[in-house]
Structure 1
Amino acid sequence: MSDKESLWKRCRQMEAQENFGEAFKCALYLQRMNPNDEEVIETLRRLNEKIQKLSQEANSTENRMKKTLQYLKDETEDDDKRIGAANNLIALVRENSGRQLFIEQKGFDLLVSLLKNNKVLYDIRLALVRVLTQIIDSSIELAKLVYSNIGIDFLIDIMSQQKNDEFLIASQSAIQSLLTQFSGFSAKDNQKIDQERAKKYEQQIDTIMASLLQRINQRTMTAKCRDCLLELLMVNIDPDAIDWGKKLIKGDGLSKLLEVASELVEIRYESSMPITVDTRTHVALVLEKIYICMNCDKSRDEFRTKTMEFLNDHLRGPDIESKVRATAAITALLNGPIDAGNHCLSQAGIVEMMLAMANSGDVVQQCVAAEALIAATVKKDKSETIAREGMGILKALFRSDNPKIKVRALVGLCKLGSVGGTDASTRVISDESTMELYKACCDLLKIGDNSTDHNQNKSEDIRKWAAEGIAYLSLNADVKEALCKDPKPLEQLIELGKSGELSCLFGVITTFVNLTNSYEKQEVIPEMIELAKFAKQHVPEEHALDAKQYVDVRCKVLAEHHVTSALVALSKTQAKTSREMICRVFNAICEHVNLRGYVVQEGGVRVLIRLALENNTLTGKRLAAQAMARIAITNDPSLVFPGQRVIEVVGPIMELLHPECSALQNFEALMALTNLAQMSVQLRSRIIKDGGFSRIEQYLYEDHQMLKRSAAQCIANLILADSVVKLFEGDNDRIKYFVILCGDEDLDTASAAAGALAMLTSISKKSCQKILDSKDWQQYLMQLISSKYPELQHRGVVIVHNMISSNGDCARKIIECPILECLMAITQPGIIETTDTVKEIAKASLKRAEQLKLIKHVEDMKIQQEDSEDLEREI
């Protein structure tokens, strides 16, 4: 048998077995033997079509979905392939067709069985939870399908089986996605609740929230999972979110939360549930948000009544554990809804019980009582009993050999000592005593630097309390200076902040706010000071070390010690007040041009965007926006806000163009928008789409010169947008006003206005005509083209050139006025003050006028004169 026959036979066999690749290779060999063989050519064509069809089928969504699910079902398959299939499924369900195929091929059943099976690889289960979130996020219909087919209890169950943070966050996102779909509320996307949708799906929302609440006090729940559930409650229970506080009060939800609040990390009883160092902070925040939902006296009374029922049940118990738990719960209330906490303190015997516990000699009771005394000491006059007896007890506890008791007593003393705040003339304790307390806090802050894993938790707790003590003391300017001059305690505070532990947030962030003097200050009017003195009222005095030059140095020290890293780590808190404080420190650092680089390098920009958009107070959002504006002024926005991030910053910065914002915030926002507007068409469109032009334009009419200047500069950059050009072409006096601004005494304002007109007249003939409608247009154009400032002169000749080039009418009016003489003078070779560029534009203007036959060249005039003379002689 010849080679040709053998190849034909193999080709047909391979094609029959649907091995089209091998068949195609055989046909290629046959073609080389006989390139013109029609049968071979037809075979190649047919095989190629079959191969293409198979390739399309293999790459189709349906086929990919089948293979992916098959890999996941097959437990004998290679682990890497199954993990890859699970991750591929995330991409597949992003498409509408993929989600439909997933449902049709019973993907939910497979997903549930795999998530239930603890033997399935962790990476597969993590990917499947993300698949679930992707499906929920796609539509309300699929969210309902997940809710009915899988259910909230199943999601909480799989959360409770894991300790890995990544898995917990993924499961938490799935539950939050369900709540977002049913309510429309999303803190992440800054979406407010859709009241109509929330009403429609009220039953689903109530079931989810009730399930979260039901599980928070289960002993079998892991500590981290409990924190995740509390975070979900914290975000959604808020009045600005689902506003579920009143419904929670109707059941036993409050007692469940107080039960968690009564737990202590350091003390484990037989009935204790596992908690983290952040759990009690989370509970305090949830309790505070519930209390905010109580918007009338009746509902607040109900909150307080149920709180006292819980406490009384514990206080009636004969054992010490019940009293410890009751005191711990009161501390949580004082750290959250303080009015409810103070109500508890006002009940007969409560404060006396706490003082007795502090005097008991038992370490557990002393620690808990000291914490309660610290929380209760809001101001010296808040509780007479604590102010009278608390100081003596705290001093006695401070002498304890146990560092846990010592540090808590120390914080109490620091808090009582800081009652005067920043007022240098009001000191409860002497400056010497304050510095002694500060040194004691620094000594306790050092504990843990060289600690072993065995006592790490103990040392972290002591350092947290030491940081809180410094926070109170740092209201004193002497302490601020001492802290910045001794880098070791400052570094320890920053490292504590970098840990991201929310339990240390108050101490660390409050200290940073005090060091930067970024706390809210009341404007002091000199006349009011004189009036207060006349009325013999106390007038607060600022410490000499709180002067600006000292604050600037402290900001520099903080930035150089990488405080931004700590701020980034602590920004995960959901407490709006804390987020505002973080914004205050960021803004104080960004006030200094040479320190903004530290914020950019250490990831501060990404956090600032979130702080400006999500879950923050109005003041906090504005401070975050101001910090971003300051960064955008002195840095290339395309570098510091890469990709889509640069679009996200426009909205927050625009919010600073508000009458309630300070003139400095208005000015910095305008400067930042000026930089952003010159970057791209998309950014200019975004600014205009958000109503930016009208907001910016209002500052053109301000008396404040810097606001007027920055507004003019911003509009000059926005003129590149077609919609802005149409606004100037409309039936209004915008161009007339810009002509007037060209004569402004401020050089930068005049330059910006002239630059705007130069760009406008280059693209709009109608704008050229509208300049002529201005009353004193000749005067202002003459000022520009004869200016001693090269930038003004350049803009002036460009405007004139554009007007001459636009149409004959404009050109005629320019030539008929003294501007022509100025243009001719500029082109003279002896004028050394004028740049070559300006001369060339002036020459081009004259040439255009010559082309329009409005003027004649000197040589042409000579020739015409000579011709005339010759004609006269001939006659």
Structure 2
Amino acid sequence: MSDVDQALDALLKNLKGAAPPSLLPGEFSSLVVAFLPSQPHATRSKAFITLSAICQAIRHSVTPQKGDDSDPGTDNLVRVFTPVVTSRVSDVEEHEVLAGVSFLSALFQVDWQSASVIFKEDGVAGSLMDALDMFPSSADIRLAVAHLLAQASGHKACRSAIPPECISWLEKQSRQTSDPALRAGAAIALVKVSRGTQQDLAEAAGSSVEGDTRKDEDLVQLMKGMVIGEHNESSLSDAIEGLAYMSVDPATKETLATDDKFLKQLFSLAPRRPSSSAHHKQDAHLTLLYGITMIIANICAYRPRLSEEQKQMDKLRKMANSKNPKENPLGDDDRVRERCLKLVKNGALDALTAIVRATDSRGVRLAVGRALLYFVEDKENRGKVLQSGGAKALMVIIRDHLSSPSAKGQPAALEPAELEPIQALAKLAITASPFHVFGPNEGALYDAIRPLSNLLSDPSSNSLQRFEAMMALTNLASQGPEVASRIAVAEGLMNKLELLLLDENHLVQRAATELLCNLVAGCESMFDRYSESSSKMQVLVALADVDDLHTRLAASGALATLTASPTACRSLLELENERHRVMPVLAQLVDPSLATSEDGDDTVADQAQNDPGLVHRGVVCIRNFLLGLENESDQRQLSNEAEKIGLVRALVDMLKRNGNGANVAVLRPTAEALKVFLDCGIQISG
């Protein structure tokens, strides 16, 4: 073990104490030189861990005062690290300058707030140009300066502090061809400066600001060429990181998506097997994998789905601000779908699933989840996602989050990025059979219940996510009583589901009713929960009377199931005696012309033939309701009501229409209901 490694180990050991860290000059020196590019990868990885621990310890050693807008943690870090950086970057020894520049680059990655303040200190940026003049033949100095400028360019506070001569130097280095690593480092710095400056101007103007299109195209072509032709890992990582920044632009998305050679080479960089080296898996490829994933996600990103209220607000905002340009047609859904198909053709899905296997980085995996969500937006891609192992990859991403300590503690709400892989899984589970999505192992199907129920009940989920969660759970619940029972007892699910039964959005209400229908049919506890509650039965009767056909089918299906229980029939009788709406609602399932309003006035009947599914459910409900009442006087009361509203005549007509036995499923319950009417003294002619 080297002296530097031993010093880092000692530092880490000392940091475990409760007291704030107090670092000696020798310890500081060991930490700074640990970031030199000449150090082994393992040493630099340990240095990052040590620096992170020091920054956290110093931040936690101070408590902000109430009403004080300052950041005492940052102030303390700046006080500690400024002398370390400024003394070295202004030194006349190459080794010291390189150590100072490398250390500040590392600090940006660990604690950008303090690094930004130090970078803006008088003389720091100027010292970088002095170092380039003093050591013109040092490749290490040039590359370290390019990387530091790239780190600084990612932060608004630092961009204005970068001297124009630094930008000119970066442009020159991005055009040279003798040093590919330097060329890539300079290019990514220029990308961040270009993109960041455009964003800064847009924020100041309150609108979108177009950048230098020609300059952007040159940078894109430069970095594309490096991805296709470069084999140095550091240069590749820089080029891919730069393209990840650039690919948020619609024109760049099109440029990248139409270059098959580039796409094939990009996706080939995703390792098809997990690395045997833990350090390599966790660090060396992390930037590369994240960059590949973000390029895919950016190219395939759809515009945000707005609610009706959000659409109106957006429209008003555009009317009020005449400077807002029209939306770029390259971002239209049709163009996004075309780009997705091109990426699928060139192997993007295999690359994404390989990335999930290759790294356990939470950030990378969540980015993969977002990319897969964009792909499954188009139903044509869902089968290909399943073939590439996309469902398994999504379950790995989801399981990784749900097993984390914060998830086990049931946080109040998940982050939007944490809901995206669950939504992607829900889309797959809606259109494909659970067997194709989760495989033959029932355990995998059971494991999907918790995240899907989280997507439904989480307070941060939107209407579309709740709708898709319910659709997926409905499909799962149809797989058998065990699955339905597990869904019914999922924490918070039933409370949320019963609220959504009354949702104003008819699609959400429909999905909630369909899920409830499957749960009532498949889960004994749900059957009892509803059959024993007049108020819950009343909700189902009301849902069987709404305008939406699918909602009526689901609600009447649940009633047909529940009325097999005498308890449920007694609950319906209580409702009928109280509101006199149960029999009219059931009657209009059989014959729409029997529909009446709440005050009893006749309504205009729909001239279209009634849906066969509603007819079947209606006659089963009526038959069950009559037979489920043991008291003859109750049966007689319902029979009289049926005759009064014309239901008896409707059933007779139906019996005639099905007299040839064409529909046995309807014929039998119809005949049984008519027999009860006869037994109760109702005259049936026909």
Q: What is the TM-score with the length of structure 1 in the denominator?
A: 0.63
Matched, 1:475 2:248: yes
Shift of 1:683: 2.6
Matched residue SS, 2:269: helix
Is residue 192–residue 242 contact of structure 2 (8 Å, CA) maintained in 1? yes
Output the CA distance in 2 between the equivalents of 1:838 and 1:734. 27
Matched, 1:442 2:224: yes
Output one character per residue of 1:736-776: Cα deviation in whole Å (capped at 9) or x when no partner.
121121121110010010001011112x2111122223321
Output one character per residue of 1:182-202: Cα deviation in whole Å (capped at 9) or x when no partner.
xxxxxxxxxxxxxxxxxxxxx
Letter matched to residue 668 of structure 1 = E
Describe the shift of the 1:732–1:801 C-alpha distance in structure 2 as closer, same or farther (beyond 3 A): closer
- Aligned residue among 585, 608, 630 for 2:371: 585
Output the CA distance in 2 between the equivalents of 1:829 and 1:836. 12
Is residue 485–residue 524 contact of structure 2 (8 Å, CA) maintained in 1? no
Output the CA distance in 2 between the equivalents of 1:292 and 1:731. 57
Correspondence 1:443-458 to 2 at 5 A: 443-448=225-230
Matched, 1:218 2:5: yes
- Aligned residue among 780, 799, 812 for 2:621: 799
Structure with greater contact order relative to length (CA < 8 Å, sep ≥ 6): 2
Correspondence for 2:171: 395
Matched, 1:507 2:284: no
**Range with greater deviation from structure 2 (733-742 or 503-512):** 503-512
Output one character per residue of 1:472-494: Cα deviation in whole Å (capped at 9) or x when no partner.
22122111111111111122222
Matched residue SS, 2:479: coil
Correspondence 1:168-247 to 2 at 5 A: 218=5
Describe the shift of the 1:436–1:831 C-alpha distance in structure 2 as closer, same or farther (beyond 3 A): farther
Describe the shift of the 1:480–1:285 C-alpha distance in structure 2 as closer, same or farther (beyond 3 A): farther
**Range with greater deviation from structure 2 (548-557 or 814-823):** 814-823
Shift of 1:348: 3.0
Correspondence for 2:116: 342
Correspondence for 1:179: none
Matched, 1:782 2:587: yes
Correspondence for 1:14: none
Output the CA distance in 1 between the equivalents of 2:105 and 2:557. 63
Output one character per residue of 1:530-550: Cα deviation in whole Å (capped at 9) or x when no partner.
3334xxxx5365322112211
Matched, 1:566 2:351: yes
Matched, 1:733 2:550: no
- Aligned residue among 420, 434, 437 for 1:637: 434
Shift of 1:682: 3.1
Matched residue SS, 2:161: helix
Shift of 1:219: 6.8
Unaligned runs of 5+ in 1: 1-159, 161-214, 234-243, 449-455, 862-875
Correspondence 1:655-674 to 2 at 5 A: 655-657=454-456, 658-674=458-474
- Aligned residue among 526, 530, 545 for 2:315: 526
Matched, 1:815 2:639: yes
Output one character per residue of 1:184-231: Cα deviation in whole Å (capped at 9) or x when no partner.
xxxxxxxxxxxxxxxxxxxxxxxxxxxxxxx9962799xxxx9xxx9x
Is residue 369–residue 421 contact of structure 2 (8 Å, CA) maintained in 1? yes
Describe the shift of the 1:409–1:623 C-alpha distance in structure 2 as closer, same or farther (beyond 3 A): same
Describe the shift of the 1:308–1:273 C-alpha distance in structure 2 as closer, same or farther (beyond 3 A): farther
Correspondence for 1:371: 147
- Aligned residue among 42, 65, 78 for 1:275: 42
Is residue 684–residue 718 contact of structure 1 (8 Å, CA) maintained in 2? yes
Describe the shift of the 1:591–1:245 C-alpha distance in structure 2 as closer, same or farther (beyond 3 A): farther
Correspondence for 1:406: 183
Shift of 1:712: 0.4
Correspondence 1:613-652 to 2 at 5 A: 613-615=399-401, 618-642=415-439, 643=441, 644-652=443-451
Correspondence for 1:709: 510
**Range with greater deviation from structure 2 (664-673 or 499-508):** 499-508
Is residue 579–residue 620 contact of structure 1 (8 Å, CA) maintained in 2? no
Output the CA distance in 2 between the equivalents of 1:806 and 1:253. 86
Describe the shift of the 1:829–1:435 C-alpha distance in structure 2 as closer, same or farther (beyond 3 A): closer
Correspondence for 2:21: 250
Output the CA distance in 2 between the equivalents of 1:697 and 1:299. 48
Matched residue SS, 1:491: helix
Is residue 667–residue 710 contact of structure 1 (8 Å, CA) maintained in 2? yes
Shift of 1:526: 2.0
- Aligned residue among 656, 670, 674 for 1:842: 670
Is residue 291–residue 337 contact of structure 1 (8 Å, CA) maintained in 2? no
Letter matched to residue 692 of structure 1 = L
Shift of 1:705: 0.5
Matched residue SS, 2:563: helix
Letter matched to residue 250 of structure 1 = P
Is residue 224–residue 262 contact of structure 2 (8 Å, CA) maintained in 1? yes
- Aligned residue among 692, 695, 698 for 2:496: 695
Matched, 1:495 2:268: yes
Correspondence for 2:210: 427
Is residue 744–residue 750 contact of structure 1 (8 Å, CA) maintained in 2? yes
Correspondence for 1:332: 106
Is residue 90–residue 127 contact of structure 2 (8 Å, CA) maintained in 1? no
Matched residue SS, 1:733: helix
Letter matched to residue 460 of structure 1 = E
Is residue 281–residue 502 contact of structure 1 (8 Å, CA) maintained in 2? no
Is residue 584–residue 623 contact of structure 1 (8 Å, CA) maintained in 2? yes
**Range with greater deviation from structure 2 (328-337 or 794-803):** 328-337
Is residue 517–residue 557 contact of structure 2 (8 Å, CA) maintained in 1? yes
Output one character per residue of 1:412-436: Cα deviation in whole Å (capped at 9) or x when no partner.
222222233597952342x222222
Output the CA distance in 2 between the equivalents of 1:588 and 1:488. 23
Q: Percent identity?
A: 22
Is residue 334–residue 341 contact of structure 1 (8 Å, CA) maintained in 2? yes
Letter matched to residue 653 of structure 2 = A
Output the CA distance in 2 between the equivalents of 1:425 and 1:845. 69
Output one character per residue of 1:558-585: Cα deviation in whole Å (capped at 9) or x when no partner.
2333323333344465655444433221
Shift of 1:634: 0.9
Output the CA distance in 2 between the equivalents of 1:707 and 1:532. 34
Output the CA distance in 2 between the equivalents of 1:561 and 1:381. 40
Describe the shift of the 1:469–1:274 C-alpha distance in structure 2 as closer, same or farther (beyond 3 A): closer
- Aligned residue among 328, 344, 347 for 1:543: 328
Letter matched to residue 597 of structure 1 = G
Describe the shift of the 1:355–1:772 C-alpha distance in structure 2 as closer, same or farther (beyond 3 A): farther
Matched residue SS, 1:772: helix
Describe the shift of the 1:340–1:574 C-alpha distance in structure 2 as closer, same or farther (beyond 3 A): farther
Output the CA distance in 1 between the equivalents of 2:388 and 2:60. 37
Shift of 1:780: 0.7
Describe the shift of the 1:789–1:550 C-alpha distance in structure 2 as closer, same or farther (beyond 3 A): same
Output one character per residue of 1:684-732: Cα deviation in whole Å (capped at 9) or x when no partner.
2332222311111111111110011000000001103222223223454
Shift of 1:504: 1.1
Letter matched to residue 175 of structure 2 = R
**Range with greater deviation from structure 2 (597-606 or 418-427):** 418-427
Correspondence for 2:341: 556
Matched residue SS, 2:460: coil
Is residue 826–residue 834 contact of structure 1 (8 Å, CA) maintained in 2? no
Matched, 1:607 2:393: yes
Shift of 1:520: 7.2
Describe the shift of the 1:289–1:554 C-alpha distance in structure 2 as closer, same or farther (beyond 3 A): farther
Output the CA distance in 1 between the equivalents of 2:677 and 2:4. 88
Output the CA distance in 1 between the equivalents of 2:146 and 2:540. 67
- RMSD, aligned α-carbons: 3.9
Output the CA distance in 2 between the equivalents of 1:245 and 1:504. 33
Shift of 1:586: 1.9
Output the CA distance in 2 between the equivalents of 1:482 and 1:564. 20
Describe the shift of the 1:318–1:274 C-alpha distance in structure 2 as closer, same or farther (beyond 3 A): same
Shift of 1:813: 3.5
Letter matched to residue 423 of structure 2 = Q
